[in-house]
Amino acid sequence: MTLETLSSGIDTVWVVLSAAMILLMEGGFALLEAGFVRYKNSVNIIMKVFADITIGTLLFYTIGFGLMYGSDAGGFVGVTGFFLNGDLSHLDVPVSLETFWLFQAAFTIAVISIVSGAVAERINFRAYLLYIILMTAIIYPIGGHWAWGGGWLSQLGMQDFAGSAVIHALGGFSALAAAIIIGPRKGKYTPLGVSAIALPSNLPLASVGAFLLWFGWFGFNAGSTLSATDVRIGHIAIVTMLSAAAGGAATLLYTLFRFNRSDAPSVINGSLAGLVGITAGCAFVGDLAAIFIGAVSGLLMMAATSWLDRMRIDDPVGAFPVHAVSGMWGTIAVGLFATDGGLFMGGGWKLLGVQVLGLTALVLWGFAMTWFGLKLIGKLVPVRSTEEEEELGLDISYHGVMAAHQSHEFLDGEEHMLAYQEKFPDSNR
């Protein structure tokens, strides 16, 4: 065995493990969202995550990867690599094509999961399945090609190491468009516009989900090196940790001093905001910059959450504040604090200008395509659940089960739905 072969094998193991860590983040999304929503909709959250993984994986294999990483056509889209076939010789990665695809597929699944939380408790399940196709086969791959696949933003020099813009800002603005089109949950806002609070069903569960996301983020960021011998791995891991800690600490202190209590959902989302904020610059900024980026991410998340309420836009888990707003800030922060080219590091305005341009293009792409895509899907199936389905809960309405119960009896298969409603009348609350 040669040294080159050994190094390649180690890199492959590193990237596969990183991909597995990112896939584990889906468990984090599931628990986080299930804990934030009402109990009667928690199974629906889990089923959407499974749909993200299964349908998203297959669509990215057949179509998405080719559009994202295939041979460039005019800086806009890839045209080879569908089903991992065709000319992909232009890809300069230290691991095999299959290994690289696996890592990128895990990223793709994360994007659609961002949208899932913003439309929780009221999206029609069939409409959501159709939207998964749109996001994983078209919206994310084409936007990703611009910045990562050799497209026009990549050619301009945009820096987004692990996806503050490509994944989080794009996904977050897609989530915003979806939340606006589908509308708020029944009873969320009074006729006078006052916001009603739907208490999270299980905050300990949500916190476990956040911890899983935090853990997986080390694979998300450090794994993007695609090499186990990359000397930047340690630094990437440190700034990831510092930014997450700063985001959580900033929101903890903010809520403590403003409301005289530390608000658990805010602190959870503050830490996640810090993770999102550092994702673009984790390989480019220093430790102190990472702390500042994380703290600002947490505070911006709080401001964006208040803005959503003022605009009467219902986002049950805070997908837009956490992913879109923090992702935007993190992308811009690269242009300010990058040790090579950042404005505050003596690099001038060029990188900052490219970052702002690229960010603007990606969020407009995600928002517009989701807006028109859901309008089109609405011609095929209703995009929103009926009032009856929403009142009963999407668990029973779409999946015929509750998250948990104490029955030890068998149910008549053909009368399954009716039996649940009669035996568990409290399930409609």
Q: Which of 380, 398, 418 is the last residue of a domain?
A: 380
**Residue 338 and residue 285 in contact, taking contact as beta carbons nearer than 8 Å:** yes
* pLDDT value of position 170: 99
pLDDT tens for the chain, 429 residues: list them. 788 888 889 999 999 999 999 999 999 999 999 999 999 999 999 999 999 999 999 999 999 999 999 999 999 999 999 999 999 999 999 999 999 999 999 999 999 999 999 999 999 999 999 999 999 999 999 999 999 999 999 999 999 999 999 999 999 999 999 999 999 999 999 887 788 888 899 999 999 999 999 999 999 999 999 999 999 999 999 999 999 999 999 999 999 999 999 999 999 999 999 999 999 999 999 999 999 999 999 999 999 999 999 999 999 999 999 999 999 999 999 999 999 999 999 999 999 999 999 999 999 999 999 999 999 999 999 999 999 999 999 999 999 999 987 666 766 655 555 555 555 454 444
Q: Which of 361, 380, 399 is the last residue of a domain?
A: 380
For residue 196, the number of C-alpha atoms closer than 13 Å in the C-beta half-sphere is: 10
Backbone angles phi, psi at 162, to 5 degrees: -130, 5
Helices (H), 73-166: 97-118, 125-134, 140-148, 152-156
- Residue 312 Cα distances to 90, 95, 171, angstroms: 47, 47, 20
* pLDDT value of position 314: 97
Domain shared by 326 and 398, yes or no: no
Domain of residue 267, CATH code: 1.10.3430.10
Number of domains in the chain: 2
Domain shared by 79 and 228, yes or no: yes
Q: Global pTM? A: 0.94
CA pair distance 330, 185, nearest whole angstrom:
30
Domain shared by 147 and 245, yes or no: yes
Domain shared by 321 and 271, yes or no: yes
CA pair distance 374, 407, nearest whole angstrom:
39
* pLDDT value of position 421: 55
Residue 29: both structure tokens together: 């999304």
Residue 410: both structure tokens together: 């068998």
Domain of 419 in residue numbering reads as: 387-428
Domain shared by 196 and 323, yes or no: yes
Domain shared by 297 and 412, yes or no: no
Domain shared by 405 and 304, yes or no: no
Domain shared by 153 and 279, yes or no: yes
* pLDDT value of position 417: 55
**Residue 139 and residue 373 in contact, taking contact as beta carbons nearer than 8 Å:** yes
Domain shared by 302 and 396, yes or no: no
Domain shared by 343 and 404, yes or no: no
Domain shared by 308 and 409, yes or no: no
Q: Both ends of the chain: CA-CA distance in Å?
A: 64
